[in-house]
Amino acid sequence: MARLRAFRRAGPIGLVLTAWDIWRRIPPRHRKTIVKHARKHGPRLAARVIQAQQRRRRP
């Protein structure tokens, strides 16, 4: 198995390229499952994050 490019710089571009490397290595069938779950649960998780941020701001 090829090594991930762990020695990239930790900036936003390096993070995106590392994520792309990982995504490419996931089998297509599993990728579809991940996308399906993200579409189903993503909005719910985003709403929770927003609620948590709003609660934190209100002292």
Q: Note the pLDDT of residue 34.
A: 96
- Asked whether residue 19 is assigned to any structural domain, the reply reads yes
- Asked whether residue 2 is assigned to any structural domain, the reply reads no
**Domain residue limits at 20:** 12-57
pLDDT of 43 over the 60 cut = yes
- Asked whether residue 5 is assigned to any structural domain, the reply reads no
Q: Note the pLDDT of residue 2.
A: 52
- Asked whether residue 48 is assigned to any structural domain, the reply reads yes
Residue type, 39: R
Domain count, the chain: 1
Distance of CA 22 to CAs 2, 26, 46, 53, 59, Å? Answer: 11, 7, 23, 29, 40
Average pLDDT value for residue range 4-15 = 71
Average pLDDT value for residue range 16-44 = 95
- Asked whether residue 6 is assigned to any structural domain, the reply reads no
- Residue 5: alpha-carbon gap to chain centroid: 17
- Asked whether residue 41 is assigned to any structural domain, the reply reads yes
The per-residue pLDDT for range 46-55, each reduced to its tens digit, is 999 999 999 8
Average pLDDT value for residue range 30-42 = 96
The per-residue pLDDT for range 14-26, each reduced to its tens digit, is 889 999 999 999 9
